[in-house]
Amino acid sequence: MKVLVTGANGYLGQGVVKTILDMGHEVIAADFYTDNIDDRAKKYSCNLFEIDDPYTFFEKPDVLLHFAWRDGFVHYSENHIRDIPKHVRFLSKISLSRIKTISVMGTMHEIGFYEGSIDESTPCNPESFYGIAKNALRDVTRVICKQNNKNFQWLRGYYIVGNSRFGSSVFSKITAAVEEGKTEFPFTMGENQFDFINYEDFCKQVAITSTQDDINGIINICSGHPEKLADRVERFIKDNEYSIRLLYGAFPDRPYDSKAVWGNDIKIKKIMENQNKKSD
């Protein structure tokens, strides 16, 4: 397959591009800058929102994997709302082509405050600009795909664990703090329970899901079970042999974070099982 990955130079995009390439597919990688992208990919440094015919410009891909998004961890940035029309126009343009699958990165923050297992029928009541914008784009993307007979995939991401300093998660911030020589890290009480997925597993799930079309719709990219934030962060520090300790209670918990939430993994487990059968 030929897969167009937008936002390919970002923390998540880099790993997904590499994984798709390792699977033997061709990757067209697009971003403003492309310096951190695997050299096996065909790279385009561009503003994809200014391209009139993205399907032709990006060499007629079979799949669009749309990671492009700014200010993802600045949950109340007004850019989330301002950028919605740009994403809609881009997706509308490419949906008019012969592309087969439109796969877009979502987030569990679309759900808002909720406790328990999240599946594709879970009501969404987002409480941040980030969640509101992703929630709106999901609905629009579904309609666009239905109107133009495209496979619709909405990849709902959860909490990604990785030791790169280039991400914006608490794990990346701890890594950056260690590299800066800090020995203490301000933290919440860490009582909330979330669905944590290792970076490598996240990339693998996304790569395999976007390059198959047997299972579509809203798909959780997740581990399928909750774990207390404090426990997962302490384990992360231990696994990486970091000499840093958490300052519990330095920050309050975010009021819109759920006490315990995790993704229903039925669909992603089926996708991964299907892939394993093909590999056998």
Active site residues: 130
Q: Does residue 109 contact residue 261 with C-beta atoms inside 8 Å?
A: no
- How far is 106 from 218, CA to CA, in rounded Å? 9
Q: Which of 167, 234, 230 is nearest to 202 (CA)?
A: 167
| Residue that is written with structure tokens 């012969």 in the block | 98
Q: Does residue 188 contact residue 252 with C-beta atoms inside 8 Å?
A: yes
Dihedral of CA atoms 140, 146, 149, 151 in degrees, nearest 10, equals: 70
Run of H or E residues at 237? helix 229-239
- How far is 132 from 96, CA to CA, in rounded Å? 26
Q: Which of 41, 48, 126 is nearest to 86 (CA)?
A: 48
- How far is 9 from 158, CA to CA, in rounded Å? 20
